[in-house]
Structure 1
Amino acid sequence: MRDAGGSAVVVGGGIGGLAAAVGLRLIGWRVTVVERAATLADVGAGISLHVNGLRALDALGVGAAVRAAARPQYTGGTRTPKGAWLARMDGAALERELGTPIVGIPRAELHRLLRAALPPDRLLVGAEVTSVGHTTPDRLTVTVPDGVLEADLVVAADGVNSRLRARLFPHHPGPVYSGSTVLRAITEHPVDLDSDFEITWGGGAEFGHIAFTDGRAEWHAVLNSPPGVRHTDALAAMRHRFADWHHPVPELLDATRPDAVLHHDIHELATPLPSFTTGRIALLGDAAHAMTPNLGQGACQALEDAVTLTAALATEPTVAAALARYDAERRPRSQSVARAARRAGRMGQQLRHPLATSLRDTAMRLAPSGATLRAILRHADWTPPALG
């Protein structure tokens, strides 16, 4: 709102929720972040941030700190299990085109930098929101174990399994299993790598890595799998599955502690939501548009959400007008990116039949040299709205 800011409760302390809180504080709002986990997401592996995510972080005032902690991705691309290149990534060309390359950073470090932009007393950790109601049509109440918070706005950033989304849209089918599961970890010590970022596609499998500034790396393995399958020794299972894949796949696995491996099934909102807002509640990030990770855009879209919501609240005359603008600007774009990510998975990691994978690989090898750059630009070339 153009005059004095209001008060907001952000439900969920992930990347999107923290970014929204940072943005709202920038425009003078009083914000409380409520996170039901005992700690604020100091877990996870690594993340690649495309230029749209970095521009969003710049708008929030934390872009410089993130860049300083991240490693630019100038070299890498897509390979076959035997190591042949299908497509090369030219980070320098991307930097010339958009002013920055993609960067890689541990998720925990990104969370720490976002938290550092908020007063500690604005983070309510280990608390679950049990209900959201109204005291007046323009005033919300958020019930937590220790009492009731009042706010002009609630931001539902509580993830793919959002409880608030389920309450707001009881007839929506909710998240569905994508058909793929992901195992990932950060290596215990530095690894000798030839590139900053790689993915390798085999039949029904992908293995990739993101290099960090300290020489360590994040690796991920995405596999076609029924949901709920787990391994007694996940690291041993990955060593067996990728034993004959090219360098540095075995070396990355050998540099990993068994207890560092995370394993999650990948769920998405395959049925798009009809709206990202209900009354004075706005859905953001995975709660609004959970997508598969095939384009590396999940966190970047959440950061875009945060900046767009902040800008709308800063410049529109009422909360209602701001939320209408937020929905109109964010829903078409984020849902389009989610569809593109789903298609990318089906044509990439999820392809299993040898003939299909051979045709895909041939098409990638024959693609013009700038095809990879254009594919990245299609989703990453986004300009943040002004915050005032």
Structure 2
Amino acid sequence: MIGIGRRGLLTGSTALLAAPALLHAQPAGGVKIGLVAVQTGPQAALGTQLRDGFLQGLRHLDGKLGGLTTEVVHIDDELRPEVAVTKVRAALERDRVDFVVGVVFSNILAAILRPVTEANTFLISTNAGPSTFAGRGCNPFFFTTSYNNDQVHSVIGQACEDRGYRRVFVMVPNYQAGRDAVAGFKSRIKGTVVDEVYVPLTQLDFSAELAKIAAARPDAIFTFMPGGLGVNLVRQYRQAGLANIPFLSTFTVDEATLPAQGEAALGFYSAASWAPNMDNPQNQRFVRDFEAQFNYVPASYAAQSYDGAMLLDSAIRKVNGNLANKDALREAIRAADFRSVRGPFKFGVNHYPVQDFWLLKVARRPDGKFWTETDRKVLEANVDPWAAECRMR
């Protein structure tokens, strides 16, 4: 059963993005996308951003990728790797999707990468970017429009160096992306990590950890707490009276969490390769039309997924809709012949982007909404640290 969601989206296990109110069978010569986005639990806000960003891209492309009518098979991974594998296998074998796109969390990407790529199907991650697939684990059927996990976190390490923070408290979730966050941060900071705390991915009460921070009296805190973890941490950090200790983070204060964090996040810092205030025509159109369609401010999850749609559109056009020639299609994807919302964009040898990274700061817009704004560029045309180990050329 397919129904219309509260934002006018087609919902259900399979949805066809076509002319308004028009549903029909997928014609020959079309393309099917398996869109993986968590829609269950406190992290669903991130999956919704990712999903809506891709669908906004399709709207700007009149519901077609490379001129081919496009069908989207929606896959809720439920933030459970075993569920993700089962659903993705069904999308490959039953729905016969041509591409698998999306994925918020690295543990989900790690679970589905093998079944997707072993089926000679391209997997385009629009958020998760674990280091495990950037070096020796690079794969000819895997691309990401986001980043290598290490890169974003290294921005904060560099920012701490630039600001003279010598003693930093580190706190992240205990999973691959959390470990990547610490490695990336440490790669550029020369000061002392006064404590390194790992918490469960489901933790929502940080009172014990906040007491440790207060006792350590660091120059700053670095944290990576996505989704619901970040909402609770920011509120509790402000309530604990710790805001005098600079709060530098990744994927903790962003447009997916700011509606719930509100004033508690004002002045806190983040890092990314994109911000909604970036001044280029592609980004201005994306942000304006996204807010008009969905009535909320897009986050990087949405922007990277929008770029994912534009990437596939450019690649399918390059091969004139011939999805059977995988080698030609791979070269067309690698060419990245599209205008990104973040400005300069190209793929490195490992199919991870080479791009600029920025320090961002939470601000309130004149209309009262919260978003992140570019503070300064920290890394330019940055190549991720694992690319040299990738054997693809």
Q: TM-score, normalised by structure 1?
A: 0.34
Higher relative contact order (CA 8 A, sep 6+): 1
Q: TM-score, normalised by structure 2?
A: 0.34
